[in-house]
Amino acid sequence: MKSCNCPSCGAKIDFQSSLSVYAVCKYCQSMVVRRDLDVESIGKMAAIPDDMSPLQIGTRGKFLGIGFGIIGRMKLSWSDGFWNEWFVIFDDGRKGWLAEAQGAYAVSFEIDKKEFAGLRKLKNIVLDKVIGSNLVLEKKILKIVDIKEAICAGSQGELPFAAPVGRKTTSIDLVGEDGDFASIEVAEGESARVYMGKYVTWEELHCENFRILEGW
């Protein structure tokens, strides 16, 4: 674990994972980026809008038998609602994401897809392949179910990239016949990222240390 002081308020910031480059200061909500020797503040984050999510930083769960822990969160907002992307580190060292939208959960990992790297290329995909059409990823036939223009509504904890409030993303969701899940994310001014994984149920996640929800 690496520790440093928040360049904005001086509070201690711990980087739990070597995979994390960005962290949000718990006290002043500044987003800091880790350089080789020190950290740099890259702006203040607004407090995350509250929700009824049962997950929180520190929640542990399981996916396909391997334990993971949540170390960061990015909340996204689009025209028809919000969803959470929880940044997770697996016990075997992999990093992944646990997406939580409308009470559905999906665990995914970033995959290397050079053909989607450029935004220009993605625009072609969006133009020719609209909702309802199929795309083949990792030899799996996946159907485009959603294309959303989202903006970051806040982040928390550690993240592998900078996610300031207002960061714009085009998010394409895909599903397969066996609960396969994929998403293509293109943040404004960045290369596309492709994530693949599976939808999981709350029971399958075997969560521990989740949030207290009053009345439930």
Partner 1 sequence: MSKKKSPFAPESDKINSEVPLENIAENIKFVPANPKVFNCPCCGSAISIKAVGHSITAVCTSCESIIDLQNENYQIVKKAKYAIKETLIEIGARGELFGVKWEVIGYVLKSDGSFYQWEEYLLYNPYHGFRFLIQSQGHWNFAQVLQRSVAKLGRAKISFNGRKYLKFLQGSAIVKYVKGEFYWRVRKGDAADVSDYISPPYMLSTESVKREMSVSQSVYIEPSEVQESFKIAEMPLKSGVACNQPRPFKNAFAIYLTAIIAFFVITVIQCSMKDARDYAQVVAKDFLFRGDGKNKDFRIAKFNLPKDSNVEIKTFTNVDNDWAEIGFSVVNEESGKTYDISQAIEYYHGYSGGENWSEGNQYERTIISPLPKGNYDLLISFDSGVFEKGRNLEANISINRDVMQWGNYWISFLLIMAFPIFVFFMRSGFESMRWQESEHAENKESSWEYVDDVFSGILLITDLFSS
Nearest to 38 by CA among 13, 58, 17, 55: 13
Question: What's the token pair of residue 169?
Answer: 């993303």
Q: Where in 151-180 is the site for partner 1 (CB under 8 A)?
A: 156-158, 175-180
CA atoms within 13 A on the CB side of 143: 8
Instruction: Check: CB of residue 17 under 8 Å from CB of residue 71.
Output: yes
Closest CB to partner 1 among 161 and 210?
210
Task: Select the residue interacting with partner 1 from 91, 115, 188, 190 (CB under 8 A).
Answer: 91
Stretch that binds partner 1, among 37-45, 164-172, 183-191, 197-205 (CB under 8 A): 197-205
Instruction: Check: CB of residue 86 under 8 Å from CB of residue 179.
Output: no
Instruction: Check: CB of residue 186 under 8 Å from CB of residue 112.
Output: no
Closest CB to partner 1 among 32 and 120?
32
C-alpha separations of 94 from 69, 91, 105 in Å: 11, 7, 18
CB of 214 to partner 1, least distance (A): 5
Does 136 sit near partner 1 (CB under 8 A)?
no
DSSP symbol at 205: H
Does 70 sit near partner 1 (CB under 8 A)?
yes
Does 46 sit near partner 1 (CB under 8 A)?
no
Closest CB to partner 1 among 82 and 116?
82
Closest CB to partner 1 among 145 and 190?
145
Q: Where in 5-34 is the site for partner 1 (CB under 8 A)?
A: 14, 16-17, 26
Closest CB to partner 1 among 93 and 189?
93
**Rounded CA gap, 109 and 200, in Å?**
14
Task: Select the residue interacting with partner 1 from 5, 7, 54, 204 (CB under 8 A).
Answer: 54
Stretch that binds partner 1, among 29-37, 60-68, 115-123, 161-169 (CB under 8 A): 60-68
Stretch that binds partner 1, among 38-46, 163-171, 183-191, 198-206 (CB under 8 A): 198-206
Instruction: Check: CB of residue 143 under 8 Å from CB of residue 174.
Output: yes
**Rounded CA gap, 25 and 157, in Å?**
7
